Structure 1
Amino acid sequence: MSGLNASLGYFVAVVVFAASVRTLLKKWPRFGFIMEFASSFMLVACWLEVQTIVEVGEWAGGLGPDVTVTMLFVVLLTHGVICGSASGNPNLAVLRFLQLEATTLPTLLAVVAQFLGAHLALLVAVYYWSLELTDMHMIKNLMARECSTSLLVSLLQGFFTECVCALIFHLVHLNLKRRSALIRVPLIAVLLTFLSHTARGYTSAYMNPSLAYGLTFHCPGFTVTEYAVVYWLGPFTGMTLALLLYMGHIPRIFAKNLLYFQKTRFRVPKGDKGEKKKM
């Protein structure tokens, strides 16, 4: 239980940092990319600790799978509430760009900030583990240099897994985009938790390039290029397919709807048709 208490304290500290950044940036909306930095930092830092509980806590701390799944859901739910529109996900930043909702420079700044946030979260987590506050963290500190990769299948299977999971996620996200946050945030958290738990034996379904960079790119077993194919190209492909299926086209690339016929908004009144027949 002491290990869980230490983890909860760590989570609270990370959440307070992200909430403080959001509060400060309300007066300067032009610096929204800094919120993306804080959002990515919070997501990666918390997920790293959840990953520690999964890898070590289940057998060293007596924490069952139900605890880890619940903690992941709470982390995702809290992230959605605290960070709001700042997703901490480069794919969602690119999605807004493809939908003509963001220009080039803000998109680039957001993506760079998200990867910087993920890198800082990894450094902070490694320092936190080095403190060895509990037996679980002592073991994790010993394992830090030889961490277990999240990619447990071949590159083709990994690419397909991330692509399909990203396709499902982005289709749901696009459909819930204009819904109330009270509905959208919990449903997205449930979906992400379900996909991550389901794909745990494959890729863990990160569907987030900066998250994958912080959680598994530094682990041995695959090269950076191989990780990029699975965790960057796979989710991007799934996101592009989801946008194409949802809108019928990709606004940033072409305006013509390739999948759906657009109905005309104007209809000829029935009375006019009747008068024309009489004449």
Structure 2
Amino acid sequence: MSGLNASLGYFVAVVIFAASVRTLLRKWHQLGFILEFASSFMLVACWLEVQTIIEVGEWAGGLGPDVTVTMLFVVLLTHGVICGGTSGNPSLVVLKFLKLEATTLPTLLAVVSQFLGAHLGLLVAAFYWGLELTDMHMIKNLMAAECSTSLLVSLLQGFFTEFVCALIFHLVHLSLRRRSALIRVPLIAVLLTFLSHTARGFTSSFINPSLAYGLTFYCPGFTFTEYAVVYWLGSLTGMTLALLLYMGHIPRIFAKNLLYCQKTRVRVPKGDKGKKKKM
């Protein structure tokens, strides 16, 4: 329990930081990229601790999979509630760009900020592990230099896994985008938790390029390029196909609807039909 108490304190500190940044900068819309920085930092820093509990706590601390799955869901739910409109996910930022909902410069600033936030989350988590507050964190600190990669399959299998998971996630996300946050946020958290747990033996299904960068790119076993192919290209390809399937076209690239026919029906009033017949 001491390990869980230490982790809880860590989670609370990270959430308070992200919430404080959001509160201070909420009125300055032109600084939205800083909100993305805080959102990505919170997601990566918290997920790294959940990953620690999964890797070490389940065999060293006697914590079952039900505990780790519950903690991951709580982290994702809290992130959705605290961060609101900021996703901390480059795929969702690029999605807005492809839908013509964002211009080039804000998109680039947001993506760069998300990767910087992910890197800071990695540094903060490493510092926290270095404190060795519990046996679990002491073991994690010893393992940090030779961490276990989340990519446990071949490059092709990994790419396909991230592609399919990203396709499912973005189709659901697009379908729920107009729903109330009370419905959308819990459902997205449940979906991400389910996909991550299901793909745990493959890629862990991050569906988030900056999250994957913070969680597994520094681990040995694959090159940076191979990780990028799986977690960046696979995720973005799945997102692009989801947008194409949902809208029938990609607005940023072409305006013509390729998949769905939009028939315009012009109704003629009955009175006008009678006049035409008389004439």
- Fold match, TM over 0.5? yes
- Counterpart for residue 269 of structure 2: 269
Q: Note the 1:84-233 alignment, pairs <5 A.
A: 84-233=84-233
The one-letter code matched in structure 2 to 1:114 is Q
- Counterpart for residue 50 of structure 1: 50
3-state SS of 1:220 partner? coil
- Counterpart for residue 246 of structure 1: 246
Q: RMSD between aligned alpha carbons?
A: 0.9
Q: Output one character per residue of 1:142-199: Cα deviation in whole Å (capped at 9) or x when no partner.
A: 0001000000011111000000000000000001001100000000000000000000
Counterparts in 2 of 1:65 and 1:268: CA distance versus 1, 3 Å: same
3-state SS of 1:275 partner? helix
Shift of 1:132: 0.3
Distance in 2 (alpha carbons) for counterparts of 1:69 and 1:47: 11
Q: Output one character per residue of 1:172-230: Cα deviation in whole Å (capped at 9) or x when no partner.
A: 00010011000000000000000000000000000000000000000000000000000
- Counterpart for residue 64 of structure 2: 64
TM-score calculated relative to the size of structure 1? 0.98
Aligned residues: 279
Shift of 1:23: 0.3
Q: Output one character per residue of 1:38-70: Cα deviation in whole Å (capped at 9) or x when no partner.
A: 000000000000000000000111110000000
Distance in 1 (alpha carbons) for counterparts of 2:126 and 2:254: 45
Distance in 2 (alpha carbons) for counterparts of 1:111 and 1:266: 44
The one-letter code matched in structure 1 to 2:26 is K
Shift of 1:260: 0.4
Distance in 1 (alpha carbons) for counterparts of 2:217 and 2:44: 13
3-state SS of 1:16 partner? helix
Shift of 1:273: 3.0
Shift of 1:28: 1.2
Q: Output one character per residue of 1:223-258: Cα deviation in whole Å (capped at 9) or x when no partner.
A: 000000000000100000000001000000000000
Gaps of 5+ in 1: none
Of 169-178 and 23-32, more deviation after overlay is shown by: 23-32
Shift of 1:264: 1.4
- Counterpart for residue 35 of structure 1: 35
Distance in 1 (alpha carbons) for counterparts of 2:166 and 2:7: 29
TM-score calculated relative to the size of structure 2? 0.98
The one-letter code matched in structure 2 to 1:82 is I
Counterparts in 2 of 1:204 and 1:270: CA distance versus 1, 3 Å: farther
Distance in 2 (alpha carbons) for counterparts of 1:91 and 1:119: 17
Distance in 2 (alpha carbons) for counterparts of 1:260 and 1:135: 58
Distance in 1 (alpha carbons) for counterparts of 2:63 and 2:81: 26
- Counterpart for residue 22 of structure 1: 22
Shift of 1:265: 5.7
Gaps of 5+ in 2: none
The one-letter code matched in structure 2 to 1:127 is F
Counterparts in 2 of 1:107 and 1:275: CA distance versus 1, 3 Å: same
Distance in 2 (alpha carbons) for counterparts of 1:21 and 1:63: 33
The one-letter code matched in structure 1 to 2:196 is S
